[in-house]
Structure 1
């Protein structure tokens, strides 16, 4: 890889997500040469992917160019490539563009979908972890409504219209609420020939309640909000297969749908080169209190890829954007302190709460000393997410879209710009 050699320690960061980008923005490159690697040339604000999938926002509203973010930093190099392997003994990162030596390596590669070994679901379900997947989901749903207009068989038409979402964490709940609002307010205007009263939205969760990681009070509120919007909720239910548009569950319940959305779990996504002894639950890599890979002080792991047990989180820190951003800011600060020969401090995650939105004026927020719901929680959710977006332009665009959609009861432009093709069709 063509990176100049200079008389500074080289810090290689894999991943421009929440953790990697935070570190890259805050590390002092007067003391380090920074090389940031990612397979995309943009940072994606993943919490709002569901709004792209449901046509509430356009992709450029939640994506920001990496080069533009870091263009004022000296000794910084961005490379658009995929990492194949890390050779920790030789301190080399092997990529599709060649090999790159490092002095310090930061693995901030995030997470991918966890299908729990269900091959039929992995082959046929719709994931939503990337911008491309969100656009695929949007196109697929809109295409299904267009196709449903030309089908006389009621069962086949409903098969195209109905949606099943697996996983009632924040992503699943927010997606279910957004699709329900589309069905209730928007789609009947776009497709007056379809009876959307017959369209069903099913939300399936293996845990005893929705938003199981949040408080019981917020879980109950979210459940009631979803029921108010007309979402069918099934808890303590596990999906075992999805073939020929038929969702089968271990309890015997079955659903016919052409759209199964998988939001049921995540697993750490990192390159090869790390032994099984370094891996913990969710394929995460074990780190110490300084976020260093176990037994390797030159390799750091941040965000969803890292597994760190603490007194408050004995199953590892949660795989949340807040953890990733705090870890990125922490490590940048420690590198800056190291360059000035100052003492290094261990990482301490500060849990500032969690939140999820369900729909218009409907959200839940868990804070340390209070549990919020309804309109105030919804406004809180909006403000926090606006402030976390990268770039002033993105904040303005998202804010204007939200205000416009709220006033006009409209939800963006439902354009099929890039038609969705199934995997087998795309390969032909």
Structure 2
């Protein structure tokens, strides 16, 4: 078999890997495409909070790869990568199969790191996949049921306390979601919602420190305090040990313990351990161990290998490890693979940062468009979910999910909880629906008046495509 006819092998089915595969298939790429991923479902990470709360269904944000790849030219292999041999251009998986490749895409993602904290791996619950979101939901439900059956006050307080380790974007979004959601769940069971406690534990006094969302600190702080149950902030607390029923930490040179029946860990991720086994020198890695790539996302010493997402960094143009970056990298890698296949040079990747989106509670978000304009509350929630749903990795799946979601939003159909349960009146619920309608009507008017400008300015959001599906323009 000639090397040129070997397949392109993609390791990892996250945003970068999956979108590389789908773009190649859509481009009618002339060589076989093999996607290797250990899980059977794609986790749409920005919407895991909606999976946890029930705001969106598992089919919407936690679909099976086989469904997403149906009808494509991508061969999906569900297995775990055992070893990568760059010099031999070979990948071995746990089942024993070996794949020789002409091109390789490293998109293995990151792995939760506990910073060698004793007990964290055993007792803290990570929140990085659909499977983990569902596990956390089941655990929380169980704790609420146990609390109802517990007469002893201190033990009930423990069961109803949630400690979230890390005040980065995931920690803040999870804290805001649970501080709205858990009181509703507990109240429905007949419990006293005021007994719920959500505590955000952070090593420093600064939330979102060093994050791309750091300029949203004040907005996030107000949101944490404005939930159904205000989030307690435990700052300058260095976690030293995790127990089955609590968090041990050092604060102001004193060791203290926070009793908690649920401990969620959002304090950080590290590159996949497989990257450390590659024959790449320290000079070709950053301080975290990620692989340094060229502006075209190729390895410096192995140009047939591309790397993206949490696996790689371009030292000349570093990008934050966000979904929108990985999404764009997937499309760029596919384009460059096609360029190489046609005998053309690879093209430097241009990442367009379009702002950030953060979930700040049930039906509440902030959409920080182009880092200049903040749209908050329910309008921000509408923009956030519409934008993310438009990025779903299959056009047919995308169309159905987005249409179902918009119908649910506008008509409150099949909702897991009502706005009344959130303390709103029917009048406010009607206002919310009106706002959603205006948000839909305004771009329709703009599209009709200035179609070219509308397409150029909003194409990144997916709004033009969404409107074309829901309300096709007149011809």
- Give the alignment's TM-score, normalised by structure 2: 0.78
Work out the CA distance in 2 between the residues paired with 1:293 and 1:307: 10
Q: CA RMSD in A?
A: 2.5
CA contact (8 A) 2:241 2:249 kept: yes
In the TM superposition, 1:14-413 aligns within 5 A as 14-27=11-24, 28-74=27-73, 76-97=74-95, 98-189=97-188, 191-192=189-190, 194-212=191-209, 213-214=211-212, 218-229=216-227, 230-251=230-251, 252-269=255-272, 271=274, 273-275=277-279, 277=282, 278-311=284-317, 313=318, 317-366=319-368, 367-390=370-393, 391=397, 392-400=399-407, 403-404=412-413, 405=415, 408-409=418-419
Query: Alpha-carbon deviation of 1:195?
Result: 2.0
Which structure has more helix as a fraction of its residues? 2
CA contact (8 A) 2:184 2:193 kept: no
Work out the CA distance in 2 between the residues paired with 1:124 and 1:215: 29
CA contact (8 A) 1:218 1:371 kept: no
Query: Alpha-carbon deviation of 1:225?
Result: 1.4
Work out the CA distance in 2 between the residues paired with 1:233 and 1:62: 30
Work out the CA distance in 1 between the residues paired with 2:124 and 2:236: 20
CA contact (8 A) 1:24 1:332 kept: yes
Query: Alpha-carbon deviation of 1:340?
Result: 2.4
CA contact (8 A) 1:186 1:409 kept: no
Matched residue of 2:288: which SS? helix
2:9 matched to 1:12?
Answer: yes
CA contact (8 A) 2:110 2:311 kept: yes
Work out the CA distance in 2 between the residues paired with 1:69 and 1:202: 37
Work out the CA distance in 1 between the residues paired with 2:256 and 2:56: 34
Deviations 1:245-303 (A, max 9, x none): 12122214431012100011111225363146244333322222221123111211111
Query: Alpha-carbon deviation of 1:361?
Result: 5.0
How many correspondences in the alignment? 401
Work out the CA distance in 1 between the residues paired with 2:403 and 2:39: 23
Query: Alpha-carbon deviation of 1:370?
Result: 2.5
Structure 1 gap ranges (5+): 412-428
Query: Alpha-carbon deviation of 1:124?
Result: 0.8
Work out the CA distance in 2 between the residues paired with 1:34 and 1:388: 21
Q: Which moved more, 1:227-236 or 1:53-62?
A: 53-62
Deviations 1:30-74 (A, max 9, x none): 422211111123322111112222343332221223233333334
Query: Alpha-carbon deviation of 1:394?
Result: 3.0
Work out the CA distance in 2 between the residues paired with 1:63 and 1:244: 29
Work out the CA distance in 1 between the residues paired with 2:197 and 2:123: 20
Work out the CA distance in 1 between the residues paired with 2:86 and 2:183: 54
Query: Alpha-carbon deviation of 1:141?
Result: 0.7
Work out the CA distance in 2 between the residues paired with 1:65 and 1:406: 23
- Give the alignment's TM-score, normalised by structure 1: 0.86
Query: Alpha-carbon deviation of 1:204?
Result: 1.6
Work out the CA distance in 1 between the residues paired with 2:416 and 2:67: 31
Structure 2 gap ranges (5+): 422-475
Going from structure 1 to structure 2, the CA distance change for 1:105 and 1:410 (only over 3 Å counts) comes to farther
Work out the CA distance in 1 between the residues paired with 2:41 and 2:246: 36
Matched residue of 2:263: which SS? strand
Work out the CA distance in 2 between the residues paired with 1:399 and 1:296: 45
Using CA pairs below 8 Å that are at least 6 residues apart, which structure has the higher relative contact order?
1
Query: Alpha-carbon deviation of 1:154?
Result: 0.7
Work out the CA distance in 2 between the residues paired with 1:150 and 1:22: 47
Going from structure 1 to structure 2, the CA distance change for 1:326 and 1:410 (only over 3 Å counts) comes to farther
Work out the CA distance in 2 between the residues paired with 1:363 and 1:238: 29
Query: Alpha-carbon deviation of 1:78?
Result: 1.6
